[in-house]
Each structure stands twice: as C-alpha cells, then as structure tokens.
Amino acid sequence: MDDIKKILEEYKKGTLDLDSAADKVNSNYFTDMGHSILDNNRTYRNGFPEVIYCAGKTPDQIREIFAAMAGRGDNVLATRADFSVYEAVKIDYPEALYHEAARIVSLKNREFPKGNEHPIAVITAGTSDIPVAEEAALTAEFYGNKVIRINDVGVAGIHRLLNRLELIRTARVLVVVAGMEGALPSAVGGLVDKPVIAVPTSVGYGASFGGLAALLGMLNSCASGTSVVNIDNGFGAGYLASMINRL
C-alpha cells in the first residue's frame, strides 16, 4: 500500500501531524459521500478499483462518484449507463468515452498491467446478444486484455462455429454469450481446453422467461469447465475473464 507508506513517512518526518495523518489513512480506505461510500482500497485488495453500477443512481450522484474516483487517479468504469450519465460525466471529464451498445462510460488515467499476451475470446450465439457481449468485451479490454470478438455463431448453424474454431482455440479464456435455449456454451466447452464463462441473455420469445431458460440450460451444461454468470451480466463475465487471464 504505497499511499499509506507515504502518509506514514510524512508523519515520521514531521510534515504531517497525528490527526492529519489519521484522516489521510482513513480516506485511503473509503470516502463517505452521504449517498455512497466509495471503496478506495479495493484496488489493493482485488487488483481493480470499484466499478460504478449506474442503474438506480441519479446522473448527479454518478458524476460525484466518478469525479471522486478520477480525482484519486483511478481508472473509472461505469456500467449500465445511459447517455444522460455520459452527458453529466463529460462536464468534468470530456476525455471520458461512451460505449453506446454496451452502455458503459470509461475513463483511463493509467494503463492496467497486462497479465499476458493471450487474448480473451467473446463469442455470441446471435447478433441480438452483442450488447451483453460488448459489455464483457469492453470490460476485459478496460482491464488490459486483448479481446477477440466472434459474433453470430449459434447452434442453429453450427458450421459457423466450427469455421472459427482455430481462432477460438488461441484464446486463454472464453466468454460465450447466448439467449434462447442457451446451448452455445456447451458446444464451445466440448471443443476447447480453456475455461468457458457462459453468459445467458434475456434474448428470446415468451418461454425463454427473460433469460431464465438460457440460465438453467447453462447451469445444467454437461461440458466440464463451464461456469455461469447471471442473466445479461456481461460485466461480471468480462471481469472474471480478466482475473483468470492474469493468473
């Protein structure tokens, strides 16, 4: 924890009094903003800073959280952000980027250490799954990974998947995104020797129950080495893939 070491060194030299040093140590762990308590210490514990989940927050709240994180020199990732969030954030940070399909606002103050040169593959069953897949892909890229995007290779035309198999096998981790019956992760999992992170989406007709059918299908996959995140949780898949790729 370099920040705390610097604070202690300043106290030892006498350039900080005891109360000021205590305040700085406390602020290194969290910032109480009234509506939110920012977890400043998460990078040291988990390797990545806190992420802003925008749904349910007002643009002003998000703008304040975003500014607090960016002001500390952190990279900032805000998920489930609509354009009004981006408009609020760019007042203070015009260099922030808005990724419309993925509903992500991002700001990079520094590069994340690259875990290795192996890519993460993000694969979709259908074009309708791309927004969730882009959330996963952009999250993985934000954390310093190379990403291969392979779209529309679902089981209704399995030859499309087999045609990309050589490329798919170059990835260290695979994120497979599918709605409907959620069969694609099982098909991919049976063809590779890498971990597969399955992402069910809410794409589908009535009996898909908003992605529940795909979720249950993936949880019951017979392909070993396949794990499952929540419905439409592209961020969770991209984050987990990044952690695996750093090992």
Class of domain 120-246: alpha beta
Domains of the chain by residue range:
33-107, 120-246
- Residue 116 is predicted with a pLDDT of 65
- Residue 113 is predicted with a pLDDT of 66
Output the tens digit of pLDDT for each of the chain's 247 residues.
556 777 788 878 888 888 777 666 666 666 767 788 777 767 777 777 788 999 999 999 999 999 888 888 788 999 999 999 999 998 999 999 999 999 999 998 877 666 568 999 999 999 999 999 999 999 999 998 999 999 999 999 999 999 999 999 999 999 999 999 999 999 999 999 999 999 999 999 999 999 999 999 999 999 999 999 999 999 999 999 999 998 8
- Residue 14 is predicted with a pLDDT of 84
* Other beta carbons within 10 Å of 100: 12
The Cα 200–Cα 217 span in angstroms is 9
Q: Sign of dihedral through CA atoms 52, 69, 141, 238?
A: negative
Which H or E run contains 132? helix 130-142
The Cα 98–Cα 181 span in angstroms is 31
- Residue 194 is predicted with a pLDDT of 95
- Residue 74 is predicted with a pLDDT of 83
Each residue's pLDDT tens digit, 202-221: 999 999 999 999 999 999 99
